[in-house]
A and B are shown apart, each in its own frame.
Chain A
Amino acid sequence: MRYDVVVVGAGIAGPIIARNLAKAGYDVLMIDKKAEIGSPKRCGEGISIGVFDKYDIPYDKRFINREIYGAKLYSPSGYELELRYKKVSGVIIERKVFDKMLAFYAARAGADVWPRTEATGLIRKEGRIAGIRAKHEGEPVEIEAEIIVAADGVESMVARWAGINTYAPPHEFDSSYEYEMLIEGYDPDLIHLWFGNEVAPRGYVWVFPKDEDRANVGIGINSDNPKTAKYYLDKWLRERGIPAKKLLEINVGAVPVGGFVKELVRGNVLVVGDAARQVNPMHGGGMAEAMGAATIASRWMIKALEEENLSLLQNYTREWWEKDGRRLEKVLKARRVTEKLTDEDLDLFIQILSGADAEKIAGGDYGEVIKALLKHPKVLLSPRRIKLLKELL
């Protein structure tokens, strides 16, 4: 069979590209190896409220578990910093519904969608990549396409088959483990984040409320840690006396947090989302980045098909790096500085900020936050801390 575009992977980036290309009138097939789109997920399911308008996604109650009004941060010794907004700042979604709806929007726009279809290799003809081979319920199928999109997640094979170097060593990933569970005692209008080198090396523990008494409770740690993410999360729950007995889901995954794939296009193959390691390296969130990259990629795919000039696809690499890549490289740099923070630093910084002008901090003026910290005597007396904070500026 023949399509203009074949998209491998129906997570976040895949369906947005499939929808945009189908809307523009092109023949699109999106495949996913899973039988149920959206499940299992590898995600804390938190996303900022702005993405719905920005990427033209309906604000559909069917996938919104709860609206969130801010965040609460906890230092290793228990200092707290609350950032609360008057308006909804984010939502905790239900990926198994959300991803399926994104695929539905793509299908409704005209794309074909096949779950339980695993890409098994590339079709090469006359020195170019002419499509992909796949297996649908075990039956081999050949899908020819002008453009191939590798939106196949952290374990992406398609881009690597095409010769795009997406490889990164384990140090550049976080390992994560999450329960959806019944939990009480945490303000369900906020997300809650715990930091500390013993709590979650390089990462954090999160509680993302889905209900007053139900939340995603998860952890991310450096993947090259000799202990597992599960070990650290269970330890955290045990130490706080939180019973982990009413569990509704267990999810695990690897999160690429150490830099981004340089070459996003080779010939007629594009890589996007987790497969391109397009994840915010500070918090490990990948959905918004996937949406952004998918939007840029879609635009250049449409242009390349319109003008029958596939070399235009290269503009996706250029534009992504100019916009998102540059910004995320800065975030990555800052993340690498935060890795050097000791538990005492975290205690001190959160303690200082909780006493500072909360509204200013909640306003998200990052520079103001660092300046507030730099004024404190305990910081001023420590050349090491001054150096760290200046690096963060």
Chain B
Amino acid sequence: MVEKVKIVVDDDRCYLCGGCAGMCPTLAINVGPKWEFFIDKCISCKICITACPVGALKAVPLEGEP
């Protein structure tokens, strides 16, 4: 089973280019004036992390969260 993760953005590195949102298979990321993540839609595939041209995204484990 895939480890359930949460995707977090480093605001200082992100250019809001929208590449991650374009490649997300489940519309779990929205890039408007700010970067938004919808955990209920995320399937922890981490495609967005590889897709980012500047490496601004990372996954953090969900352990310990309700």
Residue numbers of A with Cβ under 8 A of B are 33, 35, 40, 42, 116, 118, 153-157, 160, 167-170, 173, 175-177, 223-226, 228-230, 250-254, 256
Q: Considering the complex, give the chain A residue whose CB is closest to the CB of B15.
A: A252
Partner of A173, one of B16, B30, B31, B51: B51
A223 and B23 in contact, given A157-B30, A177-B53, A228-B53 (Cβ under 8 angstroms): yes
Please determine whether B54 and A177 come into contact, CB atoms closer than 8 angstroms: yes
Distance in Å: Cβ of A247 to nearest Cβ of chain B: 14
Q: A176-B53, A228-B54, A252-B54 are in contact. Are A153 and B18 (CB under 8 A)?
A: yes
Out of A40, A116, A157, A253, name the residue touching B19 (CB < 8 Å): A253
Contacts of B23 in A (CB 8 A): 168-170, 173, 223, 254
Interface size on B, residues (CB 8 A): 21
Distance A30 CA – B53 CA, assembled complex (angstroms): 29
> Distance (Å) between the CB of A242 and the closest chain B CB?
20
Q: Given A118-B33, A157-B27, A157-B30, answer yes or no on A175-B51 (Cβ-Cβ < 8 Å).
A: yes
B58 to chain A, nearest CB (A): 13
Q: Which of A160, A229, A250, A254 has the most CB of B within 10 A?
A: A254
Besides the contacts A176-B53, A230-B54, what 12 more A-B pairs have beta carbons closer than 8 Å?
A33-B33, A118-B32, A155-B19, A168-B23, A170-B23, A173-B51, A230-B53, A252-B17, A252-B19, A254-B17, A254-B19, A254-B22
Shortest C-beta distance, B22 to chain A (Å), equals: 4
Write the residues of chain B forming the contact surface with A, with a CB cutoff of 8 angstroms. 15-19, 21-23, 25, 27, 30-33, 47, 50-55
Q: How far is the CA of A173 from the CA of B25 in the complex (A)?
A: 13
Inter-chain contact B22/A155, CB cutoff 8 Å: yes
**Contact present for A155 and B50 (CB under 8 Å):** no
Contact A223 B50 (CB under 8 A): yes
Q: Are A254 and B53 touching (Cβ within 8 A)?
A: yes
* Shortest Cβ distance from A119 into B: residue: B32
Does B18 contact A254, Cβ atoms closer than 8 Å?
yes
Given B30, B33, B53, which contacts A175 in the complex, CB threshold below 8 Å? B53
